[in-house]
Amino acid sequence: MSAFLEVHLTFADPDPGREIAVALLAEAGCTMFREDGNELWAYAAAGEADPEAVEQVHGDLKHLGLLAWEVNEVQGENWNARWEAEYAPVEFGGRATVRAPFHPAPVQGIDVVIRPEMSFGTGHHPTTRLMVEALLDRPPVGERVLDMGAGTGVLAIAAVRLGARACVAVEIEPGAAENARENAVANGLEQAIEVRCGGASVLRPEDGRFHRVLANINRNVLQADWAAYDQAAETEIVTSGFFPADVPALAACASAWNWEPAEVRTHEGWACVRWKRIHP
């Protein structure tokens, strides 16, 4: 299993330090985050993070109630063992359940089975919850869906369970991409879900346009890759992975490509925006 950089932070009060820490560490190269009360864990695959930038974040947070800061190298299997002990199903009001293989199947709603790995995306994070809820409220029946920053594949699996006829799931971290493939197989959806390892560059002209693009990625990546989303999306882009305060900056970026917000949702300090194409 791959090695990961782990930054573990503890705050006297989670607000506003924790949100600022996520934003700064994302800029430093961390791509995966886990929160619990006053604690935050940030992760980057080997070579992803800039050590000097990470240490600069440490200094920037000292005046924001930071009580403890610890940087470690961890192995993927350590994360798996922790999840085996702590992972709980995520329920969406009887409409969906995201669960591990060792949990019983739900009696109603769609069933999404995820074997948790270092890649996260298990439905516990507020951004993943927001994205799943967006799919539940507007099921992609008969659609071709693109899932950017797929992680464990939870959104791709949910989309197909909700009626999408096919989904391309793109994930830049090799271990996460492999986990997404395994989860597609575990759900019996390997024929409907194609997993590609990489970023926006792995999209192909022959892909054509997707009815819906899902992107649960941090603001910097969303802004950098909006041109690719514009080329890939037919009518709708749904994004999360950022804070409500980031929405105006994203809207300015999207407007340059002829997109505007159709709906903004928030949950536990995170935002999710459904974008529609502006027709001349």
For residue 122, the domain's CATH number is 3.40.50.150
DSSP letter string over 220-266?
A: HHHHHTHHHHHHHEEEEEEEEEE-GGGHHHHHHHHHHTTEEEEEEEE
Based on the domain organization, do 32 and 170 belong to the same domain? no
Asked whether residue 94 is domain-assigned, the answer is: no
Average pLDDT over residues 25-33: 81
More confident residue, 265 or 80: 265
The pair phi, psi for residue 62, each rounded to 5°, is: -60, -30
Asked whether residue 166 is domain-assigned, the answer is: yes
Question: Please, which pLDDT band fits residue 248 given cuts at 50, 70 and 90?
Answer: very high
Coil, helix or strand for 96? strand
Q: What is the pLDDT of residues 202-211, one digit of tens each?
A: 999 999 999 9
Nearest partner of 18 among 235, 272, 268, judged by Cα: 268
Based on the domain organization, do 72 and 122 belong to the same domain? no
Asked whether residue 107 is domain-assigned, the answer is: no
More confident residue, 1 or 88: 88
Based on the domain organization, do 134 and 70 belong to the same domain? no
Based on the domain organization, do 75 and 149 belong to the same domain? no
**Alpha-carbon distances of 272 from 69, 109, 129, 242, rounded to whole Å:** 29, 22, 10, 8
Asked whether residue 95 is domain-assigned, the answer is: no
Based on the domain organization, do 143 and 267 belong to the same domain? yes
In which domain, by residue range, is 163 found? 118-277
Q: How far apart are CA 83 and CA 31, in angstroms?
A: 19
Q: What is the pLDDT of residues 96-142, one digit of tens each?
A: 999 988 889 999 999 999 886 654 556 677 889 999 999 999 999 99
Asked whether residue 97 is domain-assigned, the answer is: no
Based on the domain organization, do 122 and 38 belong to the same domain? no
Last-in-domain residue among 28, 55, 80: 80
Based on the domain organization, do 50 and 147 belong to the same domain? no
Asked whether residue 102 is domain-assigned, the answer is: no
- The DSSP secondary-structure symbol of 7 reads E
Based on the domain organization, do 62 and 124 belong to the same domain? no
Last-in-domain residue among 80, 101, 128: 80
Based on the domain organization, do 273 and 140 belong to the same domain? yes
Average pLDDT over residues 237-242: 94
Asked whether residue 262 is domain-assigned, the answer is: yes
For residue 86, the model assigns a pLDDT of 61
| Region for residue 155 given its phi and psi (left: phi exceeds 0; alpha: psi -120 to 50; beta: otherwise) | alpha
Q: How far apart are CA 239 and CA 261, in angstroms?
A: 10
Given a cut of 90, is residue 75 above it in pLDDT? no
Based on the domain organization, do 125 and 64 belong to the same domain? no
Structural domain tally of the chain?
A: 2
Write the CATH number for 49: 3.30.70.980
Q: How far apart are CA 225 and CA 11, in angstroms?
A: 32
**Alpha-carbon distances of 112 from 63, 217, 223, rounded to whole Å:** 41, 21, 30
Based on the domain organization, do 75 and 157 belong to the same domain? no
Last-in-domain residue among 80, 106, 131: 80
Predicted TM-score (pTM) of the model is 0.79
Based on the domain organization, do 167 and 40 belong to the same domain? no
Asked whether residue 37 is domain-assigned, the answer is: yes
